[in-house]
Amino acid sequence: MGKLVSFAVALMVAGVLVARWADRTKPVPSTSAMAAAPVNASPSNSRTITLARGDDGHFRVEARIDGRRMELVVDTGASQIALRESDAARLGIHPTARDYRIKVATANGFTRAALVQLQMVELGDIIVRDVPALVHPDEALGVNLLGMSFLSRVRWTHDRGKLILEQ
């Protein structure tokens, strides 16, 4: 487990360094933190959304999870979509104390989370069904995270301060 966490941290650091290097090669105009602009479908009939990096350096997106709007921060270091307990409750998801049995290492330390299944996650025209997610106590998670349980099911690239998701 320790080697896996070390590898994930090294991968995230490498990604940040490459992104910073790429940003220095061509300046990108400043945009708002919630700039998510759908792009026209390509000839291959794919669905694409382009996210601009916010002033805080994070990519934020407003998604629809099981039909409800929710703001998430894109996190390639998160293995699952991670939801705060109060936001999961807005979706009708109410894990019991017994359900918090998944041990999770976060930036804030170790905590326990409850594994749940989301029926549908939508970003613009991109739709992914049956997505595993983890519900964390509110005090253990400051923001909702769009993790690899979603991102691994779409194509994504980072180019000059923009994150491009395609299905």
State pLDDT tens for residues 65-121.
999 999 999 999 999 999 999 999 999 999 999 999 999 987 778 999 999 999 999
Identify how many contiguous H helices and E strands the chain contains and give both numbers.
Answer: 3, 11
* Model pLDDT, residue 105: 87
* Model pLDDT, residue 26: 36
Confidence of residue 152 (pLDDT cuts 50, 70, 90): very high
Confirm or reject CATH 2.40.50.100 for domain 2-166, answering yes or no: no
Answer with the residue of higher pLDDT: 30 or 129. Answer: 129
Say yes or no to pLDDT of 29 above 50.
no
Cα-Cα-Cα-Cα dihedral sign, residues 52, 55, 58, 60: negative
Name the DSSP letter for residue 128: E
